[in-house]
């Protein structure tokens, strides 16, 4: 989770001032998001840590394997599932009843007012009438048909890093009942992951962090983007899309033994060979083309002092595309390669919300008793690009806003709903 | 499960864990894993014995069942530990005592009870075992020399067997015997042992017996461990009183050996009993069923030892003394005889693993590759 801290506080390793966070945000999104909401989240972010802690979430001292993210990101002890477990345990302590193996498949919405949710439980459709609803049901990335409408057949080559159940049913219900949408359906958090990963739920261990240390070639054996543009944590989110745009949505990260120990081990073993050609052959790549690409790259590498921990300025000259940092000749056998495919974390396409977390309807008015939080509305702030850990920050800030507003509506009853709806008109 | 299959399961699991690392803050296993890129049987054995079986990682794990990879670190490590206990046992012929441990403990206990009963009645001749002995002088029933010789020999044997196992474990982990006693790292490890640092889960305790984190297991273990130490101290002191100071027992209720023994006995009653009941409520999805009997047998033997000892002390001037003495001595003898072939060994191997962990941290360099 990323949040503003003007000074170093535990568990962060250094300060992350508001201005820096804001600039990071503007750079990755090109300023295309709802700046008012973004500013609100970033400004409110320092409170996320204590709120999470006071609801049972544990953080751990800066991790060794987190891509030097310790300054800007706090990591949950035990990971994301442990965080969710803590919140569920907290909710149950407060008397909230949680239904498991229950899928919300539809919402009844009349004239912009929520009436009930339809839940599929043990094969039965059960209706839950309620005064208010908070939609916090994620993106739609696991619905392959929906993804195909956006991406076409390329989706067959995509992998999905999380649950197969995130099919966007609630998102679809909201849109069908007149909610205004936000962001482009092809946009989302997408990173290059090992092509040997399972279709769903491979999670964090399928990442391959050696792209900046070597070269990336597509199935034709060609390089296509500057591997050394920026530090890996700031670039892995764009590489998912880059791989998705290559023929057959596949690429190969090639490195030599000089850098093999400089990145996190991954779930799957590297493909190994005594020559680059041997590695290329195992991937069924055009061997001569790959050899030529590597030879051309090696010739273009300029002398410099390689240091993977900083932007070391080791670059190529006269090469298109160039490699502007960490450019070293691939010359020390054995050589290694990893096959990479786009791994979708979550989609940005969602419902439009206002600063109260109320869902905006196509009429332009906010729904009086429908609120949204998390990935289902993160596209308001992140229509494209990503800042590491920002999704969790948006979830925390908007989750709290949506919860507070929903509680108010629920407590003050339907009259308050009507009043609010009236006031909205 | 055959050992090779178990080790390959462990290796696959470690490849997932080493690429994830989100459990890093829970205990020593994960930083130790991060020193490595390969996971051979010897390394898995070390990591498995470093594992305190707190189970936090299981509940946190994204790859735990129902995920298709079914990562279950507490169970896999428990199975590897069980293998290692047999692997390092001395003499080899007795290694199988680990497999049917509860049965072995029961039989040895029964045998010892019969033996002490037989010995006592033979020694007493025409006198009755249930006749009260003035001053609670149990040496009239079990002569001091007999106790010293029999328990001394058994204790020496148990200590030798444990020591050989420890050295085997240490060498198998790839370390030199001389490094076991390296003062700074030994001190770090001793602190970790005495505080049970890695049952602390970074401050929240451990997910034991079920998902909710709690310090209860750590506290019950402290009662057990320090209770055991106090009893050991009481016995040693009694030995010194007898041979060093020439003070013949039994000692008064306010004497140091008795006070220490009572305190230790209380600890050894509360601790193992607590651990026993926690164990009964344990989530069986993450335990190694094959070790259930061994765990229960050990905690029960400790409870029986302290309960019979405290009763004996309380009733030593009554007619019950003779019978209680026979029971207590029989149980203690059975406990000592089975120490090197039961749950007790976990303490030695885990402590040694903590020494190795402290060594590795001091070396601070990547192993494996």
Distances (CA, A) of A79 to A85, A163, A205, A214: 10, 15, 12, 29
| Average pLDDT of the residues in A286-297 | 98
Taking only the tens place, the pLDDT of each residue in B44-70 is 999 999 999 999 999 999 999 999 999
Assess whether pLDDT exceeds 80 at residue A413: no
A182 by DSSP, 3-state: which? Answer: strand
Residues in chain B, pLDDT under 70: 1, 365-369
Assess whether pLDDT exceeds 80 at residue A68: no
The CA distance from A328 to A21, in Å, is 32
Interacting residues of B337 by C-beta distance below 8 A, sequence separation 6+: B108, B112, B154, B158
Q: How far is A210 from chain B (nearest CA, A)?
A: 13
| Average pLDDT of the residues in A386-411 | 94
Question: According to the model, what pLDDT value does residue A419 have?
Answer: 61
Predicted TM-score of the model (pTM): 0.93
Question: According to the model, what pLDDT value does residue B368 have?
Answer: 39
- Measured between CB atoms, does A81 come within 8 Å of chain B? yes
- Measured between CB atoms, does B239 come within 8 Å of chain A? no
> Which of B224, B262, B191, B247 has its CA nearest to residue B346?
B224
A258-297 in b/e burial notation, b at 16+ Cβ within 10 A?
Answer: ebbeebbbbbbebbebeebbbbbeebebbbeebbebbeeb
Assess whether pLDDT exceeds 90 at residue A74: no
B59·A205 Cβ contact <8 A: no
Q: How far is B1 from chain A (nearest CA, A)?
A: 24
- Measured between CB atoms, does B9 come within 8 Å of chain A? no
- Measured between CB atoms, does B39 come within 8 Å of chain A? no
- Measured between CB atoms, does B22 come within 8 Å of chain A? yes
- Beta strands A75-76; B213-214: pairing state: unpaired
Question: According to the model, what pLDDT value does residue B133 have?
Answer: 77
B60·A61 Cβ contact <8 A: no
- Reported in sequence order, the residue ranges of B186-265 that DSSP labels E, i.e. its strands, are 206-207, 213-214
- Residue of B16, B21, B61 to mutate, interface with A, max A Cβ within 10 Å: B21
- Measured between CB atoms, does A67 come within 8 Å of chain B? no
Question: According to the model, what pLDDT value does residue B249 have?
Answer: 76
The CA distance from B366 to B362, in Å, is 12
Q: How far is A282 from chain B (nearest CA, A)?
A: 22
Question: According to the model, what pLDDT value does residue B53 have?
Answer: 95
Nearest to B22 among A78, A264, A265 (CB): A78
Rounded to the nearest integer, the mean pLDDT of chain A is: 93
- Measured between CB atoms, does A197 come within 8 Å of chain B? no
Q: How far is B222 from chain A (nearest CA, A)?
A: 25
Distances (CA, A) of A355 to A38, A298, A345, A405, B189: 10, 52, 25, 11, 53
- Measured between CB atoms, does B347 come within 8 Å of chain A? no
ipTM for the complex shown: 0.91
- Beta strands A366-372; A350-351: pairing state: unpaired
Assess whether pLDDT exceeds 90 at residue A10: no
Nearest to B204 among A58, A63, A75 (CB): A58
Q: Domains in chain A and their CATH numbers? A: 18-187+348-424 (3.50.50.60), 190-343 (3.90.700.10)
Question: According to the model, what pLDDT value does residue A13 have?
Answer: 84
- Residue of A88, A92, A200, A205 to mutate, interface with B, max B Cβ within 10 Å: A205
| Whether the Cβ atoms of residue B282 and residue B208 lie closer than 8 Å to each other | yes
Beta bridge partners of A174: none
- Measured between CB atoms, does A84 come within 8 Å of chain B? no
The full set of domain ranges for chain B reads: 3-87, 92-361
Assess whether pLDDT exceeds 50 at residue A277: yes
A207·B366 Cβ contact <8 A: no
Question: According to the model, what pLDDT value does residue A414 have?
Answer: 57
A85·B211 Cβ contact <8 A: yes
Question: According to the model, what pLDDT value does residue A62 have?
Answer: 67
- Measured between CB atoms, does B65 come within 8 Å of chain A? no
């Amino acid at each position: 989770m990323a949040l503003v801290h003007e000074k170093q506080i535990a568990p962060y390793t250094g300060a992350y001032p508001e201005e820096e966070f804001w600039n990071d945000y503007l750079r990755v999104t090109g300023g295309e998001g709802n700046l008012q909401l973004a500013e609100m989240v970033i400004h409110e972010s320092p409170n996320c840590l204590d709120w999470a802690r006071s609801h049972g979430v544990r953080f751990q001292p800066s991790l060794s394997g987190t891509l030097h993210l310790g300054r800007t990101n706090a990591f949950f002890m035990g990971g994301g599932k442990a965080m969710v477990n803590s919140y569920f345990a907290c909710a149950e302590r407060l008397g909230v009843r949680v239904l498991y193996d229950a899928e919300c498949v539809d919402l009844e919405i009349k004239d912009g007012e929520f009436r009930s949710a339809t839940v599929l439980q043990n094969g039965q459709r059960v209706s839950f009438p309620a005064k208010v609803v908070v939609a916090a049901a994620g993106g739609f990335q696991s619905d392959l048909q929906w993804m195909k409408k956006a991406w076409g057949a390329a989706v067959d080559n995509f992998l999905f890093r999380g649950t197969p159940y995130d099919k966007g049913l609630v998102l679809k219900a909201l849109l069908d009942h007149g909610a205004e949408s936000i962001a482009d359906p092809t946009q989302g958090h997408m990173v290059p992951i090992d092509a040997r990963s399972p279709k769903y739920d491979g999670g964090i261990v399928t990442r391959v962090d050696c792209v900046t240390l070597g070269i990336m070639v597509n199935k034709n054996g060609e390089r296509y983007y500057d591997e050394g543009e920026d530090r890996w944590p700031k670039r892995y989110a764009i590489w998912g899309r880059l791989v998705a745009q290559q023929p057959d949505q596949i690429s190969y990260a090639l490195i030599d033994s000089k850098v093999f120990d400089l990145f996190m081990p991954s779930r799957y073993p590297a493909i190994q060979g005594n020559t680059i050609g041997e590695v290329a052959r195992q991937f069924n790549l055009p061997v001569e083309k790959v050899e030529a690409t590597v030879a051309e790259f090696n010739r273009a590498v300029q002398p410099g002092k390689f240091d993977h921990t900083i932007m070391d300025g080791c670059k190529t000259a006269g090469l298109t595309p160039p490699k502007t940092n960490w450019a070293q000749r691939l010359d020390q056998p054995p050589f290694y390669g990893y096959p990479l495919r786009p791994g979708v974390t979550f989609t940005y396409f969602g419902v439009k919300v206002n600063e109260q977390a109320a869902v905006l309807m196509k009429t332009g008015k906010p729904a009086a008793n429908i609120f949204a939080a998390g990935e289902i509305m993160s596209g308001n702030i992140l229509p494209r690009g990503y800042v590491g850990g920002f999704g969790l920050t948006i979830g925390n800030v908007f989750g709290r806003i949506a919860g507070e507003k929903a509680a108010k509506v629920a407590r003050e009853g339907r009259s308050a709903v009507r009043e609010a709806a009236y006031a909205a008109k | 499960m055959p050992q090779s299959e178990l080790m390959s399961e462990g290796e696959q699991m470690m490849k997932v864990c080493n690429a994830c690392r989100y459990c890093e803050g829970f205990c020593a296993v994960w930083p130790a894993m991060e020193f490595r890129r390969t996971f051979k049987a010897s390394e898995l054995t070390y990591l498995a014995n470093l594992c305190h079986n707190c189970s936090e990682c299981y509940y946190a794990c994204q790859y735990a069942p129902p995920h298709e990879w079914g990562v279950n670190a507490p169970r896999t490590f428990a199975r590897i530990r069980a293998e290692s206990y047999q692997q390092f046992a001395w003499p080899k012929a007795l290694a199988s005592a680990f497999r049917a441990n509860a049965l072995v403990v029961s039989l040895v206990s029964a045998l010892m009870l019969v033996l002490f009963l037989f010995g006592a009645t033979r020694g007493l001749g025409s006198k009755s075992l249930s006749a009260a002995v003035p001053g609670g002088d149990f040496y009239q029933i079990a002569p001091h020399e007999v106790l010293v010789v029999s328990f001394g020999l058994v204790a020496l044997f148990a200590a030798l067997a444990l020591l050989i196992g420890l050295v085997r474990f240490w060498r198998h982990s790839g370390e030199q015997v001389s490094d076991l006693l390296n003062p700074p790292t030994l001190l770090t490890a001793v602190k970790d042992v005495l505080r049970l640092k890695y049952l602390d889960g970074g401050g929240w305790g451990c997910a034991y017996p079920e998902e909710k984190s709690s310090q209860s297991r750590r506290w019950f273990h402290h009662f057990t461990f320090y209770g055991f130490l106090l009893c050991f101290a009481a016995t040693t002191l009694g030995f010194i009183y007898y041979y060093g100071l020439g003070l013949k027992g039994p000692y008064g209720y306010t004497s140091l050996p008795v006070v220490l023994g009572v305190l230790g006995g209380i600890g050894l009653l509360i601790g193992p009993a607590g651990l026993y009941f926690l164990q009964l409520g344990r989530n069986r999805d993450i335990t190694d069923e094959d070790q259930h009997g061994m765990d229960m047998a050990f905690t029960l033997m400790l409870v029986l030892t302290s309960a019979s000892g405290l009763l004996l002390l309380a009733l030593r001037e009554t007619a019950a003394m003779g019978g209680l003495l026979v029971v207590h001595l029989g149980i203690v003898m059975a406990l000592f005889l089975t120490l090197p072939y039961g749950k007790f060994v976990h303490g030695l191997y885990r402590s040694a693993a903590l020494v190795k962990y402290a060594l590795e941290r001091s070396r601070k360099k990547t192993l494996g590759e």
